[in-house]
Amino acid sequence: MRATVIGAGSWGTALGSVLASKGDEVTMWDIDAETLATINDQHENSRYLPDIPLPETLRADADLGSAIEGSELVVLAVPSQAMRQVAEQARDFVEPGTYICSVTKGVEIDTLMMMSEVLEDVFPVSHHPYLAFLSGPSFAVEVAQGHPTAVTIAAQWNRVAKAVQQAFHTSFFRPYTSNDVVGVEIGGCTKNVVAIATGLADGIGFDANARAALVTRGLAEITRLGIAKGANPLTLSGLAGIGDLMLTCTSVKSRNYRVGYGLGQGKELDEIQAELGQVAEGVLNAKSVRGLAAQVGVEMPISDAVHALLYEGMSAPDVLQALMGRDLKSEI
């Protein structure tokens, strides 16, 4: 399928590489012209995925209109706070009937809108049935290296989910379909916050017990939020829920885990973010998840603790102590 990927960071480039590995023509676009130039000149994204050769069929175009022209699938892979602006820029170039797949995990901070709501806000109604959302346990670098990966692609129309599934499917990249857009999006935007908590516990020097407790209780609060927002709780037991949570909460490859780890070791947030040099969505998601939880009246103690740590000046040991000292309750 002829595709365009908007956002040539780690994830956009890895997914562009998956699509182009099938021999299809794939065009990348980004605001960063230098990144685009290295894709064309060196067949590599030296900033985000260094030393990984990209397929010859993956090209970059600095002109958004010509990058999108003739595309049957437009993949949106920009940070969540840039999604509205980028979608508005792209809107006039996207032909009716083009599949539009967001692979971004996050919530628009000012409006508390999920990416599906942002895209429905920006694109005319005729495009809405063609919107799809890809999420699940997937580090960009592993996908770009061709390591086996499974994800979920959700769309309101099964036919759309299946078409996008087919477009992404390769011998190493296996998408499953779902019609639970809300569930898939909730899993993606909340897990980064819990990953900051597990990173924090590990950074302080705790071990497997604390990590397993945070992942499990993290899933419990994510599921509560999901149900309140209309998700199928089973989605959160799947790839886009526990799958992504396990991945993000237990690996140093996760930027959000590394943010938590650094804080646990006593580093300042600014210093950690400067070292990362890339987006750690969980830092902003901590604000938006708190907002979403308040909106639907759901208790999310781990996310609240991360918020207290990042934005309310609470110290790392105090945050974990506050979690342990909460009122005792039944598990389910």
152 three-state secondary structure: strand
Residue 92 CB, shortest distance to ligand NAD, in Å, is: 15
Q: Name the nearest CA neighbour of 78 among 12, 28, 140.
A: 12
Q: What is the DSSP string of 69-138?
A: TT-SEEEE-S-GGGHHHHHHHHHTTSPTT-EEEE----EETTTTEEHHHHHHHHS-GGGGGGEEEEESS-
Subset of residues 93 to 132 that bind ligand NAD, contact rule: CB under 6 A: 103-106
- 272 forms part of the interface with ligand NAD (CB under 6 A): no
Instruction: Give the tokens for residue 199.
Output: 């990173």
Q: In terms of CB distance, is 102 or 223 closer to ligand NAD?
A: 102
57 three-state secondary structure: coil
CB 182 within 8 A of CB 152: no
191: annotated active-site residue: yes
- 245 forms part of the interface with ligand NAD (CB under 6 A): no
- 30 forms part of the interface with ligand NAD (CB under 6 A): yes
- 85 forms part of the interface with ligand NAD (CB under 6 A): yes
CB 92 within 8 A of CB 82: no
Name residue 268's amino acid.
Answer: E
Q: Which stretch binds ligand NAD (CB under 6 A): 5-13, 18-26, 125-133, 204-212?
A: 5-13
- 278 forms part of the interface with ligand NAD (CB under 6 A): yes
Q: Which stretch binds ligand NAD (CB under 6 A): 1-9, 163-171, 219-227, 233-241?
A: 1-9
The catalytically annotated residue of 22, 105, 162, 191 is 191
- 250 forms part of the interface with ligand NAD (CB under 6 A): no
* Contacts with ligand NAD, 8-27, as mask; x by CB under 6 A: xxxxx---------------
Q: What are phi and psi of 77, to 5 degrees?
A: -130, 45
Q: Contact positions toward ligand NAD, by CB under 6 A? A: 7-12, 30-32, 35, 48, 77-80, 82, 85-86, 103-106, 138-140, 278-279, 281
